[in-house]
């Protein structure tokens, strides 16, 4: 079945607008995502039963195991996980959320289908055999993968795909933690960074459907059963302020330790598939003495929340858990960092509350309450997402009486952590790859797209020893603006333009005296290496007043491999940046008059304009692919403004298969002469 244009066929058949269809699809993703979370939890229990004999009371079960059993379980898990990750899906290594963020930012939400199947298996094995990681990262990646697969099947546009991926993430969080509100906020605050109502509504639908599935299977109970805590007096707010600040420092420490050990693991001269069992042997050693760090660690968190652990054990568990989680992920294991953050926050908060109660019993009466608030603060500090943090802890505990300290400490911890370290525990992984989401997704695209991806190899070359008369003949007949001089080995020697030789067209005295190399100067002929980013290329365009740059393989060999022009960069800008819905909201009006279309401009590179034009008869009934506007007129279609059934105008991101309708209006970008050529070709007013 050809799924191209499926949205429009469904719309025509059932007379539904696109927003309604998106809500239906979001509901389906939520339903499937809910069962995905159920399957993942079931797999963890299944593998834990195989590994330890039981899937409940895991802390007591692990304590009762023989010493060699504790030591070898993580190694066995590593022997299974290592090869699966290394050979079948490297994206499944680690905590998963950064991979989803990167897919949304740079790949239009496209995630390989097999990623979710491998992720669900390797994460379940890692956790069940003692890896000190959590469930939320895998659940987010699994749910997002489901949303992406459905979006790809339906041939969704990039913007719709991103929303569907976020729906999958929201569904996973909501079903697993019985936290529908937190699932939505997690997706908008961390995955999308977009609170637009058109984004929120599908996420809510997906989250609600997933929560229904989760409650049907797991029951409608909070993730943690704890005593009810509350503020005992007004003075207790001061210790909570100190706790929020302290946890901010702890969160930064955890992030630095995590990535320092990951760096150490990468430096070990050993194949990736072998590192997992070798490194996870260290987890076995830790579990021998501290079974509290085995797996997700929720049993230990519950003990801390009930104030059933002595203060010195709480103190020891902080560095031990940091180390165990970092080793697990550094080894190539698969699992999330959300549960470890909950663990560390509860333990630190419990320690803070216990010691505070010993010193000031009249002011700090509930040590367990500080553990609850510590969880929220730690999540906020590591993720830089305070709203997600206090909402998810509120929903996981069901305790409203601590909402004020939850909110206060989450904001303080996030503020302190973000001031000490620009990146969160998620964006740090991307920053180390050169992806800076803090500067915006469009900047990330320019920083990660290489010149090699956009270069052209149809340039005209001239040998350095070519006689002046031969150079003139090539310039006359080739009809190009720039010519590139190379030696016998294809090394770039410089460039020349028509303007460099036009004044000598009638000077025959230079023939036999001047050769091509005499006409160029390397210092005045800048080049760019093929592995440079588009951002670096644009900086060079800004430094040298030129429309085109020669591309060399590297600066040492200097071999000419192609050219890149400003137009090439702008085409990427058109395709990857102007397609972002945020620009559409700034520029495309909600209603456009069809009789006298608006003409508007946004801040663009010099010489470029954005126009809104009605679809003329010559375009109606034809696809964008057939019209080939970009190649024929050097003009790019940014979006299609289409009239809906109820008279509203919808913004559609252009796809090659889009068939243009009579009432459509095109938002196009290009240089003024090119825009005029397009309009003249279709008899539109200039």
Reported as a single tens digit per residue, the pLDDT across 235-288 is 778 888 999 999 999 999 999 999 888 888 877 777 777 778 888 888 889 888
**What is the torsional sign of CA 144, 146, 151, 152?**
positive
Residue 36 is predicted with a pLDDT of 86
- Is the pTM higher than 0.85? The answer reads no
Q: How far apart are CA 605 and CA 33, in angstroms?
A: 43
What dihedral angle (degrees, nearest 10) is formed by the CA atoms of 99, 102, 104, 108? -110
Q: Which domains does the chain have, with CATH numbers?
A: 6-218 (1.10.3080.10), 234-441 (1.10.3080.10), 451-571 (3.10.580.10), 586-681 (3.30.70.1450)
Residue 607 is predicted with a pLDDT of 63
Contact partners, residue 284, CB within 8 Å, separation at least 6? 70, 71, 72, 73, 74, 75, 130
Q: How far apart are CA 311 and CA 359, in angstroms?
A: 13
Distances (CA, A) of 391 to 225, 397, 483, 530: 17, 10, 62, 47
Q: How far apart are CA 266 and CA 275, in angstroms?
A: 9
Reported as a single tens digit per residue, the pLDDT across 26-52 is 889 989 988 888 888 888 888 888 888
Contact partners, residue 43, CB within 8 Å, separation at least 6? 120, 121, 124, 128
Residue 467 is predicted with a pLDDT of 79
The C-alpha angle with vertex 205 and arms to 199 and 210, in degrees rounded to 5, equals 125
Contact assessment for residue 244 and residue 411, using Cβ atoms and an 8 Å cutoff: yes
Q: How far apart are CA 51 and CA 280, in angstroms?
A: 15
Q: How far apart are CA 176 and CA 347, in angstroms?
A: 22
Q: Which residues of the chain have pLDDT under 70?
A: 1-18, 89, 91, 105-108, 193-198, 222-223, 225-232, 365, 399, 433-448, 478, 498-514, 521-525, 545, 573-607, 643-650, 685-686
């Amino acid at each position: 079945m050809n799924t191209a244009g499926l949205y429009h066929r469904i719309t025509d058949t059932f007379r539904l607008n696109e927003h309604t269809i998106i809500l239906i699809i979001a509901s389906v993703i939520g339903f499937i995502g809910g069962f995905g979370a159920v399957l993942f939890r079931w797999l963890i229990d299944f593998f834990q039963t195989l590994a330890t004999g039981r899937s409940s009371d895991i802390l007591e079960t692990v304590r009762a195991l023989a010493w060699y059993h504790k030591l070898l379980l993580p190694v066995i898990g590593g022997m299974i996980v290592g090869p699966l990750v290394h050979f079948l899906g490297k994206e499944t290594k680690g905590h998963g959320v950064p991979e989803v963020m990167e897919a949304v930012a740079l790949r239009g939400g496209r995630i390989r289908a097999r990623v979710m199947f491998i992720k669900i298996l390797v994460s379940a094995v890692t956790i069940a055999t003692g890896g000190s990681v959590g469930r939320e990262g895998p659940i987010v990646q699994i749910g997002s993968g489901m949303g992406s697969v459905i979006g790809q099947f339906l041939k969704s546009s990039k913007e719709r795909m991103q929303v569907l991926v976020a729906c999958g993430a929201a569904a996973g969080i909501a079903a697993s933690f019985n936290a529908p509100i937190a699932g939505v906020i997690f997706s908008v605050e961390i995955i999308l960074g977009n609170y637009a109502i058109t984004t929120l509504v599908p996420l809510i639908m997906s989250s609600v459907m997933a929560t229904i599935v989760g409650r049907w299977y797991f029951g409608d109970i909070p993730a943690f059963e704890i005593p009810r805590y509350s503020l005992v007096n007004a003075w207790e707010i001061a210790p909570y302020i100190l706790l929020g600040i302290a946890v901010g420092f702890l969160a930064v420490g955890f992030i630095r330790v995590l990535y320092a050990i990951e760096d150490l693991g990468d430096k070990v001269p050993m194949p990736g598939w072998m590192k997992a069992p070798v490194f996870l042997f260290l987890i076995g050693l830790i579990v021998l003495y501290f079974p509290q760090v085995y797996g997700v660690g929720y049993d230990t968190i519950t003990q801390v929340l009930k104030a059933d652990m002595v203060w010195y054990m709480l103190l020891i568990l902080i560095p031990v858990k940091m180390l165990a989680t970092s080793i697990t992920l550094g080894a190539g294991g698969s699992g999330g960092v959300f549960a470890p953050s909950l663990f560390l926050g509860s333990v630190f908060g419990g320690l803070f509350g216990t010691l505070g109660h010993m010193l000031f019993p009249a002011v700090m009466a509930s040590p367990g309450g500080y553990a609850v608030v510590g969880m929220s603060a730690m999540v906020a500090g590591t993720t830089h997402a305070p709203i997600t943090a206090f909402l998810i802890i509120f929903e996981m505990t069901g305790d409203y009486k601590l909402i004020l300290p939850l909110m206060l400490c989450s904001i303080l911890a996030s503020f302190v952590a973000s001031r000490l370290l620009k990146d969160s525990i998620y964006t740090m992984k991307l920053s180390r790859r050169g992806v800076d989401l803090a500067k915006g997704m469009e900047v990330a695209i320019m920083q990660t797209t290489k010149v090699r991806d956009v270069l052209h190899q149809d340039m005209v070359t001239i040998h350095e020893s070519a006689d002046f008369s031969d150079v003139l003949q090539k310039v006359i007949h080739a009809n190009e603006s720039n010519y590139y001089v190379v030696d016998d080995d294809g090394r770039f020697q410089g460039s020349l333009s028509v303007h460099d030789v036009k004044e000598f067209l009638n000077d025959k005295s230079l023939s036999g005296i001047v050769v091509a190399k005499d006409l160029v100067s390397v210092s005045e002929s800048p080049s760019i290496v093929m592995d440079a980013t588009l951002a670096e290329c644009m900086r060079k365009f800004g430094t040298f007043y030129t429309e085109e740059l020669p591309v060399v393989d590297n600066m040492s060999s200097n071999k000419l491999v192609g050219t890149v022009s400003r137009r090439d960069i702008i085409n990427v800008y058109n395709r990857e940046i102007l397609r972002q819905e945020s620009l559409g909201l700034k520029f495309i009006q909600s209603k456009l008059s069809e009789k006298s279309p608006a003409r508007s401009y946004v801040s663009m590179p010099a010489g470029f304009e954005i126009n809104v034009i009605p679809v003329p008869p010559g375009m109606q009934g034809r696809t964008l692919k057939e019209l080939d506007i970009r190649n024929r007129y050097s003009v790019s279609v940014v979006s299609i403004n289409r009239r809906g059934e109820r008279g509203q105008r919808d913004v559609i991101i252009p796809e090659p298969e889009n068939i243009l309708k009579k009432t459509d209006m095109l938002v196009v970008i290009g240089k003024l002469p090119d825009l005029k050529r397009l309009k003249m070709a279709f008899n539109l007013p200039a």
